[in-house]
Amino acid sequence: MEAAIEVADLRKTYRGRRTGEVRAVDGVSFRVERGEFFGILGPNGAGKTTTLEIVEGLRRPDSGDVRLLGRSPWPHSPELTRRLGVQLQASAFFEFLTVAEQIGTFAELYGATKARAAEMLDLVGLSEHVHMRCEKLSGGQQQRLSIACALVGDPELVFLDEPTAALDPQARRNLWDLMRAINDEGRTVVLTTHYMEEAEALCDRVAIMDAGRIKAVDSPAEFVRKLDAPTRVTVAAGQLDDARIAELAIDGTAAAADGAVVFETRDPRKLLTALASDGALEGLAVRTANLEDVFLHVTGREWRG
């Protein structure tokens, strides 16, 4: 079966009087399988949004090739557009329309029925707000309406560009459930996000971008496994004397931090067993590596403009 997305050596350069030549996308290649939940991660200015805009057919590349569901998105193809759903980074609605009028407009553009529009509003939990003007919705409600508009045409391939940006934790987790449901229906989903835990929880694979290039592609679990980082075990102060701390740190390191003792070890089972036998479990916290550690390892820690 052909891939949902095939991108080969994509390039896009911008030229400005002050900035000079900026390579926003510099030889990007990746493949997304049908039914996959694929994430694109990267610091600000990494080229994520430009890459997505080119892939979606909203922007023309300088060079390279893109295939969506076996077709090129450029020039614009109405037949292909009907198979895509796009939620942009910033929600933009027609002015002065209610929720029902907004999604009804999108439904007509995609040739969808009123019943389908109502179904999408119910899916995103907005059925009780059909008569509310869009500008009166909360940030989370606007994001959900944007996703409903992207889905009303029953797309095979869905693009979500930072859909949970600036949302509170409750709204973010609710949108996670919605995004899982979209993917569980068999749709291919492409997500960009700055939230590492979001990508780790949702994505089958992620691509890490920096400076217009894809640095690595893998599943979140494989990324973490390959990083081979030590486990950090924190114990509240006053439970271990210096001699015992030195004994327990023989397979790793130990350091004081905010009144606690922090061990780093590659054999956490042995350390935890010893701490349990010492009765030193007060304030115990265990932290293994995660996707954020991988991201910082790949992209570095310097400030970005």
Asked whether 124 and 178 are in contact (CB, 8 A), the reply is: yes
Burial of 229 (0-12, 13-18, 19+ CB in 10 A): middle
Report the domain count for the chain. Answer: 2
Structural domain contains residue 41:
yes
Structural domain contains residue 192:
yes
Residue from 191, 182, 193, 111 nearest 148 by CA: 182
**Same domain (yes/no): 65, 105:** yes
Structural domain contains residue 298:
no
**Same domain (yes/no): 128, 35:** yes
The boundaries of the domain holding residue 263 are: 230-288
**Same domain (yes/no): 33, 159:** yes
What is the structure's pLDDT at 20? 83
Residue where a domain stops, chosen among 219, 245, 278: 219
**Same domain (yes/no): 192, 278:** no
Residue from 268, 271, 272, 283 nearest 234 by CA: 283
Residue where a domain stops, chosen among 196, 219, 242: 219
Structural domain contains residue 254:
yes
**Same domain (yes/no): 155, 246:** no
* Confidence (pTM): 0.87
Q: List, run by run, the mean pLDDT of 10-residue segments along the chain (305 residues).
A: 93 86 94 97 91 93 96 89 86 86 93 94 92 90 90 95 84 90 95 94 97 96 92 92 90 84 92 94 92 93 65
**Same domain (yes/no): 138, 201:** yes
Structural domain contains residue 203:
yes
**Same domain (yes/no): 147, 198:** yes
**Same domain (yes/no): 148, 274:** no
What is the structure's pLDDT at 304? 60
**Same domain (yes/no): 119, 268:** no
Q: What is the CATH number of the domain that holds 111?
A: 3.40.50.300
Residues contacting residue 55 through CB under 8 Å, at least 6 positions apart = 5, 7, 10, 66, 68, 73, 159, 190
**Same domain (yes/no): 154, 266:** no
**Same domain (yes/no): 102, 177:** yes
Q: What is the CATH number of the domain that holds 272?
A: 3.30.70
